[in-house]
Amino acid sequence: DSAIPNENHLIHKFKEWTKTDNIMEFAYSLLHYRALLDSFVIKTTDTPETWAICRYSKSMNTSSSDSNPYKDDSSRMILLQSMLRVTFTDQRRVFISPLLEHIDDYYNENIDHDNQSLQKLFDSIHEWCRSTLCKQLSNDGNNDLCQAICSAAKKGTGTSHFLMNMLDYLIWDAEHSKNNSSTCIQPLINKHKDILDKECEGIHQRIFDDFQFRYRNSIEHFFPQNPSSTTDRGEDKSEVSEELRDNIGNLCMMTRSENSRRGNLFPSAKVEQYSSSDQSLKFHIMAALLKKEETWNNNTVKKHATTMHKLLQEFLSCECDSSNCDAATEA
């Protein structure tokens, strides 16, 4: 059954089963999907919030060994699955069930896991992300996807964590595809790659190489939502109008503890304290823009919002006129 796993559904099914074949089929499926879960789905390592995918397999040299089923694209699969894992923290079954179904199709289609079947697996998971995000955006009652993106891009702390994490994944995917010739997977961002590359200028490659999804569970305002008059600005001349502070161009993900400790700092102070730590890629882009522009103001917020808006458009396969969206107006 393709429904989200639920013990109440299972009890109902048990009552329907009267033949031994039903029970044997269920037992086989249980073992089969457990094997897929163990071999193809991420697990945490001994280091907190560090993810890995490995399976136990026979080797010519030893009786057994760990191997990765995704070949040269293991890092991409780890990032994709960990993005879902940290997003749906209280609803793991929301993505685990469809993920296992897609992996099952991949496993059955080609036991050797060639490049074509691997591309198909990524396509199917990306499509699930795309449709799930579209449904999430349209839940606000806006059936126009372009307007739904505009609306979602100015919600401040109410901004979808899935949307924010998806942006980080799109940014990483574009950079990874550009610098990894061994990958066989087509990048998700092509049309707006040059715009993204321009915003990523000045970010050290190790930031992308070392990036991992963490349980960043709080929306942070780069320019503080409610700046305190007692906070020392130093030489920071940044100023963002109140109506743009909740704009996606002024937002990134952080852990709740980081946000509560330093939420009222001005942009330059945040960059000074966080630039060398494991922050979201969106934070690093905003930090690079701040350094380049030497300030953080309405224009930089709008400029960054426009880029993020275009990434979402391309991923969600919709054509929108950003100039008609007050959440992302060209600077």
Residue 78, in any domain of the structure: yes
**Do 156 and 88 reside in the same domain of the chain?**
no
Which pLDDT score, from 0 to 100, does residue 283 have? 94
How far is the CA of 201 from the CAs of 120, 210, 224, 253, 271, in angstroms? 32, 17, 24, 21, 16
* Together in a domain, 82 and 168: no
Q: Output the pTM of the full model.
A: 0.87
Domain of 16 in residue numbering reads as 7-138
Same domain, 199 and 241: yes
265 and 119 in one domain? no
Name the nearest CA neighbour of 53 among 132, 121, 108. 121
- Check whether 223 has a pLDDT greater than 90: yes
In a domain, 2, yes or no: no
- The answer to whether position 1 is within a domain reads no
**Between 72 and 126, the higher pLDDT residue:** 126
pLDDT of residue 203: 92
What pLDDT is recorded for position 4?
Answer: 52
Collect all residues with Cβ–Cβ distance below 8 Å to 129 and sequence separation of at least 6: 84, 166
279 and 200 both lie in a single domain = yes
Q: 143-152, 251-260, 267-276: which has the highest mean pLDDT?
A: 143-152
Query: What confidence score (pLDDT) does residue 80 get?
Result: 95
Asked whether residue 244 is assigned to any structural domain, the reply reads yes
How far is 165 from 281, CA to CA, in rounded Å?
A: 9
Average of pLDDT values for 219-225?
92
Report residue 140 as tokens.
Answer: 């606000």
Give Cα 52 to chain centroid, integer Å: 17
Is residue 220 domain-shared with residue 266, that is, in the same domain?
Answer: yes
Residue 111 pLDDT: 54
305 lies in some domain: yes
Q: Identity (one letter) of the amino acid at 52?
A: A
Q: How many domains does the chain have?
A: 2
pLDDT at site 65: 47
159 vs 155: CA distance, rounded Å = 5
CA 321 remoteness from chain centre: 24
Q: Confidence class of residue 328 from pLDDT cuts 50, 70 and 90? A: very low
pLDDT of residue 126: 95
Tell me whether residue 301 is in a domain.
yes
Q: Is the pLDDT of residue 212 over 70?
A: yes
Look at 92 and 310; give whichever has higher pLDDT. Answer: 310
Alpha carbons 52 and 46: distance in angstroms, whole number: 10
What does pLDDT average to over the chain? 83
Residues 276, 161, single domain; the answer is yes
Cα 177 to chain centroid, rounded: 16
Point out the domain boundary residue: 105, 123, 138. Answer: 138
Give residue 246's pLDDT band: very low, low, confident or very high (50, 70, 90).
Answer: very high
Is residue 331 a part of any domain in this protein? Answer: no
More confident residue, 287 or 12: 287
Question: What are the pLDDT digits (tens) for 88-133?
Answer: 987 767 888 899 999 998 877 655 557 788 888 999 999 999 999 9
Whether residues 119 and 210 share a domain: the answer is: no
Assess if residue 170 is contained within a domain.
Answer: yes
92 and 153 both lie in a single domain? no
Instruction: Give pLDDT tens digits for 156-204.
Output: 999 999 999 999 999 999 999 888 777 778 889 998 999 999 999 989 9
66 with 122, same domain: the answer is yes
Residues 170 and 292 occupy one common structural domain:
yes
**8 Å CB contact between 166 and 282:** no
Residues 124 and 163 in one domain: no
